[in-house]
């Protein structure tokens, strides 16, 4: 079974991806991981991607698609695939469909984890981090014993720039702008399933499992 996982920042996609990989014995194809691996191994495609990333630019669709297909072609036949972070737009979605068709394969389900904006803002903007250890707290769900101080090291906790309410809203605007078109695209194909991501991780995963049985 081949699945695409969609969801805004803070939707808990990482947690659900881990659970799905175990459940389906699937191979995860994540664009972030692909970029990092190719850059680390200094592949020709990785070198091209690095040029754009170093300039703070988005990696062009054509190059992203080539990198994804390079990874997909290494997956053994019959193995389930979980795509995370790809496709991000219609150009990539159409290229994926075309490539799958050529290989006598297809996307079976697109799981869209839907979470209300106010819930996402609360989840992300409440994070507090110890920069030296990377440990993450949350002012509501997992607060430190003393406000703003790491329980173990006594160091000061900070809110990352990306986690401020204004930054989260901006990230959500960008995500919604591109993804609303994708959701429509896959809905018309009849393979889109929308999941209520505001529930607990276990409840979200139960919904996903039930949707895969249909």
Quick: pLDDT tens for 130-160.
999 999 999 999 999 999 999 999 999 999 9
Between the alpha carbon of residue 124 and those of residues 10, 35, 64, the distances in Å are: 6, 25, 27
Q: Give the pLDDT band (50/70/90) at residue 200.
A: very high
Number of Cβ within 10 Å of residue 93's Cβ equals: 20
Is beta strand 2-6 parallel, antiparallel or unpaired with respect to 27-30?
A: unpaired
Instruction: Work out the average pLDDT over 37-53.
Output: 91
- Show Cβ contacts of residue 136 under 8 Å, excluding neighbours closer than 6 positions: 127, 128, 129, 142
Where do the structural domains in the chain lie, given as residue ranges? 2-26+80-116+169-213
- Show Cβ contacts of residue 195 under 8 Å, excluding neighbours closer than 6 positions: 111, 112, 113, 114, 204, 207, 208, 211
Intra-chain end-to-end CA distance of the chain, in Å: 13
> Is 103 noted as a catalytic residue in this protein?
no
> Is 88 noted as a catalytic residue in this protein?
yes
Average pLDDT of the chain to the nearest whole number: 94
> Is 123 noted as a catalytic residue in this protein?
no
Residue 111 CA to residue 22 CA, distance in Å, equals: 17
Binding site feature residues for AMP: 31, 36, 57-59, 85-88, 92, 160, 171
Catalytic residue, chosen from 19, 88, 135, 169, is: 88
Helix 61-72 to helix 90-102 angle (10° resolution) is: 30
> Is 127 noted as a catalytic residue in this protein?
yes
Structure tokens at 16: 């659900």
Residue 198 has pLDDT above 90, yes or no: yes
Please list the residues that pair with 193 across neighbouring strands.
111
Structure tokens at 129: 């981090």
**For the structural domain made of 2-26+80-116+169-213, what CATH number should be given?**
3.40.50.300
DSSP H or E run through 192: strand 192-196
Residue 177 has pLDDT above 90, yes or no: no
| Residue 150, pLDDT score | 97
């Amino acid at each position: 079974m081949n699945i695409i996982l969609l969801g805004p920042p803070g939707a808990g996609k990482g947690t659900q991806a881990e659970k799905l990989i175990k459940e389906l014995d699937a191979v995860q194809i994540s664009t972030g991981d692909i970029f990092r691996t190719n850059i680390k191994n200094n592949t020709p495609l990785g070198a091209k991607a690095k040029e754009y990333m170093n300039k703070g630019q988005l990696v062009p669709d054509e190059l992203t698609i080539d990198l994804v297909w390079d990874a997909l072609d290494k997956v053994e036949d019959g193995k389930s695939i979980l795509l995370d972070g790809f496709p991000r737009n219609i150009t990539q979605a159409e290229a994926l469909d075309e490539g799958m068709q050529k290989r006598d394969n297809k996307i079976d389900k697109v799981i869209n984890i839907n979470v209300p904006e106010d819930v996402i803002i609360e989840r992300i903007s409440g994070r507090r981090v110890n920069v030296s250890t990377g440990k993450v707290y949350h002012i509501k769900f997992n607060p430190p014993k003393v406000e703003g101080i790491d329980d173990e090291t006594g160091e000061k906790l900070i809110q990352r720039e990306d986690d401020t309410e204004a930054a989260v809203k901006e990230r959500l605007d960008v995500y919604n702008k591109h993804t609303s078109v994708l959701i429509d695209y896959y809905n018309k194909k009849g393979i889109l399933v929308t999941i209520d991501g505001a529930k607990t991780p276990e409840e979200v995963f139960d919904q996903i499992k039930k949707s895969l049985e249909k």
